């Protein structure tokens, strides 16, 4: 995980208004809004690297309610489009969503079929390495 974080930090793209990292208190507020506990690795991801901008994918963030990547908003839209409420969005990709289950496994949810695809990753960090860093 530390090597993935280091790689993300090196690839972080400069932007006019940098993103901020949340603290634990903010994540507790988000959990209360969502009425669900965040999977451990998603929580860790949000705390450590949700301020990174890299490539074409834009994972969820937790600090700016006005952002199109704000986790509560992304989750509300995803759940409204049929993603089960026990899956927490990690990243929207067009009509599809990368989602995290309670065990921390990442699945690709198809917006076209309304079902998970065969693609999955053992953890958020595996997804970061194999998908986000390659985007």
Give residue-wise pLDDT tens across range 87-109: 999 999 999 999 999 999 999 99
3-class secondary structure, 121: strand
Give residue-wise pLDDT tens across range 48-84: 999 999 999 999 999 999 999 999 999 999 999 999 9
Give residue-wise pLDDT tens across range 107-124: 999 999 999 999 999 999
Domains of the chain by range and CATH? 2-132 (3.40.1580.10)
CA dihedral sign of residues 9, 36, 32, 97: positive
More confident: 18 or 96: 96
pLDDT computed for residue 28 by the predictor: 98
Please name the residue ranges forming H helices in the chain: 2-11, 24-34, 40-49, 71-80, 124-127
Best CA proximity match to 45, nearest among 74, 4, 75: 4
């Amino acid at each position: 995980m530390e090597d993935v974080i280091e790689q993300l930090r090196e690839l972080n793209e400069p932007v006019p208004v940098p993103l901020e990292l949340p603290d634990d208190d903010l994540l507790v507020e988000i959990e209360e809004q969502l009425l669900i506990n965040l999977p451990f690795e998603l929580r860790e991801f949000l705390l450590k690297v949700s301020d990174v901008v890299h490539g074409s994918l834009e994972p969820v963030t937790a600090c700016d309610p006005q952002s199109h990547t704000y986790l509560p908003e992304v989750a509300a839209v995803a759940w409204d489009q049929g993603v089960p409420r026990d899956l927490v969005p990690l990243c929207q990709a067009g009509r599809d969503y990368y989602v995290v289950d309670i065990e921390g496994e990442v699945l690709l949810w198809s917006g076209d079929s309304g079902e998970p695809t065969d693609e999955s990753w053992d953890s958020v960090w595996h997804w970061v390495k194999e998908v986000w860093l390659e985007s």
